[in-house]
Amino acid sequence: MKTYPELRQLIDQRLDMIEYFVEAKSLYSPIEYILSLKAKRIRPVLLLMAHQLFSENLKKAISPAIGIEIFHNFTLLHDDIMDNASVRRGYKTVHEKWNNNTAILSGDAMLIESYKHIIAVDNKILKDVLTIYNNAAIQVCIGQKCDMDYENKKIVTISEYIKMIEYKTAVLIAASMQIGGLIAGADSKTQEHLFEFGKNIGIAFQLKDDLLDVFGDKNVFGKELGGDIKSNKKTYLYLKALEIADDKIVKILKKYYSTSLSDSNQKKINNVKEIFLSLNIIDHTNILIKNYHDLAMEHLEHIDAKDKDNFYEFSNKLLDRIN
Interhelix angle 265-278/247-256, nearest 10 degrees? 150
3-state secondary structure of 167: helix
User: Which letter does DSSP use for residue 300 in this model?
Assistant: H
Q: Which pLDDT score, from 0 to 100, does residue 110 have?
A: 96
Supply the pTM of this predicted model: 0.93
Q: Which residues in the chain show pLDDT less than 70?
A: 218-223, 260-264, 322-323
Amino acid at 89: R
Q: Which pLDDT score, from 0 to 100, does residue 220 have?
A: 64
Q: Which pLDDT score, from 0 to 100, does residue 208 have?
A: 95
Q: Which pLDDT score, from 0 to 100, does residue 152 have?
A: 84
Q: Which pLDDT score, from 0 to 100, does residue 96 have?
A: 95
How many domains does the chain divide into?
Answer: 1
Q: Which pLDDT score, from 0 to 100, does residue 88 have?
A: 86
Domain at 140, CATH number: 1.10.600.10
Q: Which pLDDT score, from 0 to 100, does residue 225 have?
A: 82
3-state secondary structure of 306: coil
| Interatomic CA distance for residues 100 and 30, integer angstroms | 11
- Cβ contact 64:129 at 8 Å: yes
DSSP per position, 252-285: HHHHHTT---STTHHHHHHHHHHHHHHTTHHHHH
What is the domain range of residue 188? 4-320
Cβ within 8 Å of residue 313, ≥6 positions away:
4
